[in-house]
Structure 1
Amino acid sequence: MDNSTPRWAPSTGLVAVGWLLAVLAGAATAFFVLSGDRPGAVLLGVGTVALAAGAAHGTFVRPRLAADAWGVRVRNLGGTRRLDWTEVELRLATTRRLGRDVAVLELESDDLVVLGWLELGTDPRDVHDELLALRPA
């Protein structure tokens, strides 16, 4: 994969904020442990683990999606899966959530991969358009 290959990943800034919040939540958890507030420590501890897991996921699955003339590559914690253009069906799904339209990119082959703006770092509509332009006729 060369540098001209389009790639999409979670926003670096968003991942950095996730790590920062995980560190701050960890410090707050330590404070609650030392002050003897066990329920508060447990609650903040769960939040810390969730923030760290989200930030780690955003760090380790880079790039989340890549494409070239041969197909797409989707990366998750289990590794990278390559799908040829003949194997994958692209769809743009839009649903209404909390009063606004939310678009997600769906890649279907043997299984369904759903990617939103958090995973792609940009609007799924733009990614869909780029993928359609790359896909051979």
Structure 2
Amino acid sequence: MDNSSVSWAPKPALVAVGWLAAAVALAGTLLYEDRLGDVLFGIATVVLVLLSLHGMLVRPRLVADEHGVRVRTLSGAHELPWAGTHVALRQTRRLTRDSTTLEVSAGEQLFVFGWVELGADPRDVHDELARLQG
């Protein structure tokens, strides 16, 4: 990807809040004197650490330029040229809440992004990708 690329990643403040919440959950695990509470705090600690670590390691999550997109996952970066890539928005409604996700697909690969992974509204990212795709 060259210098005219744009990228999206989880907001650093959100990742920091995840680490803070993990520290609080760890403190709860160490300080709570009930066995069930220890288990619940321990599970929360592990989940929060894994989510925060993921938010740090896969930065930037999505990069795009006039040649295509690059998606970072824990298994590495996936280069997708525009020629074989489809970008779409998916609207869902569950429990009276509307949710919008961005879907990027190429061949057998499908990547789904929400606002947390992108650090931005998926609709705005879709508009920028459509502009770059031409």
TM range (shorter): over 0.9
- Tell me the TM-score normalized by structure 1: 0.92
Q: Deviations over 1:31-76 (max 9, x none)?
A: 12xx3x2211111000100111111111111000000111000001
Gaps of 5+ in 1: none
**Aligned residue in 1 for 2:53:** 56
Structure 1 letter corresponding to 2:13: G
Gaps of 5+ in 2: none
Bigger proportion of residues as strand = 2
**Aligned residue in 2 for 1:28:** 28
Task: For 2:48 and 2:3, locate their aligned partners in 1 and report how far apart those are by CA, in whole Å.
Answer: 31
Pair 1:90–1:12, CA change in 2 (3 A) = same
What count of residue pairs does the alignment treat as equivalent? 133
Q: How does 1:1-137 map to 2 (within 5 A)?
A: 1-2=1-2, 4-32=4-32, 35=33, 37-109=34-106, 110-136=108-134
Displacement after TM superposition at 1:127 (Å): 0.1
Instruction: Determine what percentage of the aligned residue pairs are the same residue.
Output: 53
Task: For 2:20 and 2:66, locate their aligned partners in 1 and report how far apart those are by CA, in whole Å.
Answer: 38
Structure 2 letter corresponding to 1:91: A
Give runs of ≥4 in structure 1 deviating > 2 Å. Answer: 1-4
Task: For 1:100 and 1:40, locate their aligned partners in 2 and report how far apart those are by CA, in whole Å.
Answer: 31
Q: Deviations over 1:79-133 (max 9, x none)?
A: 1100000111011111112323211100111221110101001100000000000
Please provide the CA RMSD for this pair: 1.2
